[in-house]
């Protein structure tokens, strides 16, 4: 069981969720189940679009997540194909509560034995918004007690608790008067794609894969358009883009929590996975349609990006990687495209032509304007003054969270150079 947090602050899989509105019984889908996918704050709309694309019915878009419904295949597909979700949860029970004992009763009424048995290990997490309860730790205990007592009453045995590597994760989420119990279908969070294998390959401050995918979605990039990241580090943004271009589902090289559940439909899952594998083969031809290019000043980062790309199933030539200072970064071809990047913060930018950090960022701005003329540039940063430092005026800004750090994705449009513009029509 995990330690709960103080009521009033959302925690656990909800990150800093602030408005999950789910009062009343869950809407009943035509056939199947109700789910909730969590995501980094600011990426709810692209997540909803992903879920619609796999055939889910989106029921509500709220802070840090999306409620959706569909049959069992939809739950599996969301885990396999969502690049932006952090977790996919199955909604099991919902009810009014006033105190901890109501949570206990809600937990004892839920048919857990349909999903797991007493031999499996369990972890319970609780999070809440405006809950009147004084201790979420105690609420967590009461939910756990309810689950365990139901098993003991029926079988004489109870699941044991494992907070490190549980086979089953249960989440309780409480609003002021309404509590909902969820079963986690994902297991390890979905941003763990399975290709960032060893600790050495994490690079300096790598982005979580689902945040990188969210930046790409917000940039509007699609395969067929060049993409560049001049601070690519371990290659997270480039690899997400490379997998999109090659049609590689993000969950193809990992396992999921639902595979251990008693009601798991192995034949259905095998079919959905096989479809995803076929899409990779079909996508391989498209993969090299436009360059996906990255550079970084650190040769170890470039080596990590290369190894990560290989483990992520990308062809050796899928990414054009180069070790160079940002001042030497060049567009990967004549066609304009999209830069998506998260540069180092403030003074961690190491420029050969040093000077003050502000002057250094001014240099970066000049390189972007000169070398990426006609491109769109999206920069994730926690520095609200970055556009001023770059000497560029943003066209868009989207608030986002990189873990607990409040960031913005600034979007710039760089004018095409004059000589690239069409010649003016001759005067009549």
Which residues are at the interface with ligand SAM (CB under 6 A)? Answer: 203-207, 231, 233-234, 236-237, 296-298, 301, 325-326, 342-344, 349-351
Give CA–CA dist 403/99, Å, rounded: 31
Neighbours of 410 (CB within 10 A): 22
Kindly state the smallest distance separating residue 366's Cβ from ligand SAM, in Å.
Answer: 14
The two beta strands, 227-229 and 338-341, are: parallel
Nearest residue (CB) to ligand SAM, 29 versus 362: 362
Give CA–CA dist 362/278, Å, rounded: 47
Q: Name the residue number minimizing CB distance to ligand SAM.
A: 233
Kindly state the smallest distance separating residue 237's Cβ from ligand SAM, in Å.
Answer: 6
Kindly state the smallest distance separating residue 364's Cβ from ligand SAM, in Å.
Answer: 8
Give CA–CA dist 172/106, Å, rounded: 10
Nearest residue (CB) to ligand SAM, 84 versus 185: 84
Nearest residue (CB) to ligand SAM, 29 versus 194: 194
Nearest residue (CB) to ligand SAM, 185 versus 241: 241
Beta bridge partners of 58: 68
Q: Which residue shows structure tokens 């990687």?
A: 321
Kindly state the smallest distance separating residue 404's Cβ from ligand SAM, in Å.
Answer: 16
The two beta strands, 168-174 and 376-381, are: unpaired
Kindly state the smallest distance separating residue 243's Cβ from ligand SAM, in Å.
Answer: 14
Neighbours of 1 (CB within 10 A): 19
Nearest residue (CB) to ligand SAM, 2 versus 381: 381
Beta bridge partners of 413: 376
Phi, psi of 255 (to 5 degrees): -100, 170
Kindly state the smallest distance separating residue 49's Cβ from ligand SAM, in Å.
Answer: 23
Nearest residue (CB) to ligand SAM, 124 versus 301: 301
Beta strands in 287-404 (DSSP E): 292-296, 320-323, 338-341, 376-381, 396-402
The string of DSSP letters for 216-266 reads HHHHT--TTS-EEETT-TT-HHHHHHHHHHHT--TTTTS--GGGGSTT--H
Nearest residue (CB) to ligand SAM, 40 versus 146: 40
The string of DSSP letters for 137-156 reads HHHHHHHHHHHHHHHHHHHS
Give CA–CA dist 261/242, Å, rounded: 32
Nearest residue (CB) to ligand SAM, 265 versus 298: 298
Kindly state the smallest distance separating residue 426's Cβ from ligand SAM, in Å.
Answer: 45
Kindly state the smallest distance separating residue 112's Cβ from ligand SAM, in Å.
Answer: 38
């Amino acid at each position: 069981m995990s330690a709960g947090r103080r009521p009033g602050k959302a925690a656990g899989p909800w990150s800093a969720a602030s408005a999950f509105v789910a009062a009343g019984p869950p809407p009943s889908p035509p056939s199947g189940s109700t789910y909730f996918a969590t995501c980094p704050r600011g990426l709810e709309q692209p997540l909803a679009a992903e879920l619609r694309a796999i055939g889910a019915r989106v029921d509500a878009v709220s802070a840090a997540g999306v409620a959706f419904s569909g049959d069992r295949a939809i739950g599996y597909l969301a885990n396999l194909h969502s690049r932006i979700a952090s977790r996919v949860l199955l909604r099991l029970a919902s009810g009014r509560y006033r105190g901890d004992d109501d949570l206990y009763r809600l937990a004892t009424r839920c048919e857990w034995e349909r999903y797991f048995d007493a031999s499996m290990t369990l972890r319970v997490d609780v999070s809440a918004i405006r809950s009147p309860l004084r201790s979420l730790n105690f609420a967590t205990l009461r939910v756990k007690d309810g689950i365990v007592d139901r098993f003991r009453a029926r079988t004489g045995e109870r699941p044991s608790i494992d907070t490190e590597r549980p086979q089953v994760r249960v989440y309780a989420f409480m609003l002021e008067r309404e509590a909902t119990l969820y079963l986690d279908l994902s297991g390890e969070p979905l941003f763990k794609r399975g290709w960032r294998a060893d600790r050495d390959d994490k690079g300096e401050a790598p982005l979580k894969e689902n945040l990188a995918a969210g930046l790409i979605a917000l940039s509007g990039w699609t395969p067929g358009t060049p993409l560049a990241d001049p601070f690519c580090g371990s290659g997270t943004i480039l690899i997400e883009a490379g997998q999109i271009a090659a049609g590689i589902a993000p969950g193809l090289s990992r396992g999921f929590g639902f595979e251990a559940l008693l009601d798991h439909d192995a034949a259905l899952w095998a079919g959905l996975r096989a479809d995803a594998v076929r899409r990779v083969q079909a996508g391989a031809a498209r993969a090299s349609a436009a360059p996906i290019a990255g550079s970084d000043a650190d040769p170890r980062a470039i080596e990590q990006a290369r190894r990560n790309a290989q483990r992520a199933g990308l062809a050796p030539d899928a990414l054009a990687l180069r070790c160079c200072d940002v001042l030497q970064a060049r567009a990967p071809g004549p066609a304009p495209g999209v830069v998506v990047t998260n540069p180092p913060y403030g003074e961690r930018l190491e420029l050969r032509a040093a000077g003050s950090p502000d002057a250094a960022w001014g240099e970066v701005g000049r390189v972007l304007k000169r070398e990426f003329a006609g491109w769109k540039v999206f920069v994730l940063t926690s520095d609200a003054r970055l556009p001023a430092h770059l000497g560029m005026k943003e066209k868009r800004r989207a608030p986002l969270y990189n873990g607990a750090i409040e960031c913005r994705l600034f979007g710039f449009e760089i004018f095409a150079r004059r000589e690239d513009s069409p010649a003016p029509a001759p005067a009549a």
